[in-house]
Amino acid sequence: MTYDYPEETLIRQFAPWFTRTRGYIEKFEDTDTSGADPVDSAGFIDNQTVLIEFKHSISPKEVRYLGSTGSSIEKKIRTVLHNLYQDNNDRVTQSLKGWDLDHEPLFILVVNRMSDTVVTLLNELLIQHGPEWHFGYEVIRWHGDHGETIMTCPPKPVPRGVLQEIVFPQMPSTALPRKPNMPIDTLCTTLESAGLDSHIKAMLKKLKEFDGRISGGGARHVNFSFPKISGSAIGIWPDLSNTEKGLCVAYWPEGLERRFGSTISQQTLPGIEGPRMGHLGGVRFLKTESVVVDFWDCITCR
């Protein structure tokens, strides 16, 4: 399995600990990060059905379906339970064939960071839906090497047929229409117009040298991926780049370290550190063409 983005790092850390401390046996894992599955992991602890969702962080707008602009925690719970109770033909349900129909499933939410406000909202959500949708729940705050349970309600036995009779509310998609990804030609011309022609040429030369490939991005940036790791590892943001600061480059430290066998230090990495943007985790402004080259020498152990 390869790991991608902060959630994948969280999964890599959490899974062995949970297996060791709780005896969790995984039957499903979301390895393609497509977003098509409502949870990231599913399996059993003894005969207890377990559904796990991992989040690096949660904002208040991501808790409830109403007012969200993506997949809320409420909708994830609703979807995975509806599919399971109705024995639908989705990947999660099919991985749990033979699950105990006479016992509520356990939904576990594992989070790196969440505010007190989010904790309160989650508590209200789970207290409301746990009894009416018949599921137990546990929220775990992850501390890098161990989990801290901050709220829990154990699953209960239920009469046969009760789960299949639950009527769930409809929750159509609330995601905003996605703008087209920025073409590579637009990226280059924008940076050339900003006086950063030599910067982007040096960057693209290095990307080609190390077999970097365009892997999407968004309307404001272009992402690149590399063989042997899953997902994007470098992103270039032209609208945040200028001659004063340099080329704005986002990067995924853990992915680059696995790809090139390097150790990336914020203290020694060339460029000026910038605020985080998107999901990659780190940002550097590379002021000159030579700093672009130094950046690559650092992340590739040259």
d(CA 129, CA 59): 20
Residue type, 118: V
Residue type, 9: T
> Which is higher by pLDDT, 38 or 36?
38
Domains defined along the chain, listed by start: 5-165 (no CATH), 184-299 (3.90.1150)
DSSP 8-state secondary structure symbol assigned to residue 94: H
**Pick from 261, 300, 237, 235: nearest CA to 5:** 235
Burial class (CB in 10 A: 0-12, 13-18, 19+), 81: buried
Both tokens of 106, joined, read 């356990």
Residue type, 125: L
Burial 257-289 (b: 16+ CB within 10 A, else e): bbbbeeebeeeebbbeebeebbbbbbbbbbbbb
For 109-165, write each residue's pLDDT tens digit. 999 999 999 999 999 999 999 999 999 999 999 999 999 999 999 999 999 999 999
pLDDT grade for 31, boundaries at 50, 70 and 90: low
* pTM passes above 0.85: no
